[in-house]
Amino acid sequence: MPIYIDQLGRSVELKKAPQRIVSAVPSLSELIVDLGAEQRLVGITSWCVHPTNLLLDKKVIGGTKNLDISKIRSLKPDLIIANKEENPQDQIEALAKEFPVWVSDVRSLDQAFDMIAMLAKLLELENRGANLLGELAELRKGCRASDGLSYLYFIWKDPYMVAGKDTYISSLFDEIGMQNLAPENEERYPQLSLQSIQELKPDRIILSSEPYSFKAVELKTFHELGMRSLLVSGELFTWYGSRIKACLKYLNNNPFNF
């Protein structure tokens, strides 16, 4: 039987190319569709909103943080796709005792590229995966430096939380030469007070639409403190599947040089 290694170094044994897939990762549900395997998806999470028809056409197996194990069992999957950061470890370990579970772990753009190639191979759709990666590689070449601007990328409010340097989000800004001012400590998403934010003096404040949905009122708060700020789509900076294409196109337009 073919054995595949996931991004945690785990061995996943499959009898054949999977035909009944449960995806517990929104960005990878979208990737599976874009690789041409939508018909193989039998279960998705409530956050799998792209493409828009998925929530109507597929069985919803809970949220990314609270998977419904009984619903997953009822679907009799021959493969479950999960993510180290997005899904609870105890639930993934429980499912792995009954089903093949392939776990992704993406903290950089290079790892995202590797993940796409690995998943395409697992689905026996290598040609489609190679075509997508070719497009992404060309777009990546177009990323241009943003004059070494410093930034803080906010994912939460009350308390304020920002993306640390050991994150996929930060790796995207590395592509355009921007400097992440998030404190280097044991936390991947450090908490910051408003005073500490001001003391760091970032050139740009970047407010994401997810997981906390920042709005114009928060934008105004930072503008009034004299900080150049903007709202961005969280999906562009956290969905590390085929949505990388849209992200790289966005970065190629140098949106932070204002």
pLDDT in tens, 150-160: 999 999 999 99
Q: Say what the pLDDT of residue 1 is.
A: 72
The mean pLDDT value for 6-27 works out to 97
44: confidence class by pLDDT, cuts 50, 70, 90: very high
Burial category of 227 from C-beta neighbours within 10 Å (exposed 0-12, middle 13-18, buried 19 and up): middle
CA angle 33, 207, 110 (to 5 degrees): 45
CA distance linking residue 15 with residue 3, whole number of Å: 9
Residue 146 has pLDDT above 80, yes or no: no
Q: Say what the pLDDT of residue 49 is.
A: 96
Structural domains of the chain ordered from first start: 3-139 (3.40.50.1980), 150-252 (3.40.50.1980)
The mean pLDDT value for 122-127 works out to 97
Tell how far CA 199 is from the center of its chain: 30
Assign 49 to helix, strand or coil: coil
Q: Which residue has the tokens 């970032």?
A: 202
Interval 197-215: pLDDT, tens: 999 999 999 999 999 999 9
Assign 225 to helix, strand or coil: coil
CA distance linking residue 137 with residue 130, whole number of Å: 10
Residue 239 has pLDDT above 90, yes or no: yes
The mean pLDDT value for 80-104 works out to 97
Assign 233 to helix, strand or coil: coil
185: confidence class by pLDDT, cuts 50, 70, 90: confident
pTM summary value: 0.95
Contact 33, 239 (CB under 8 A): no
Q: How many contiguous H segments (helices) and E segments (strands) does the chain have?
A: 11, 15
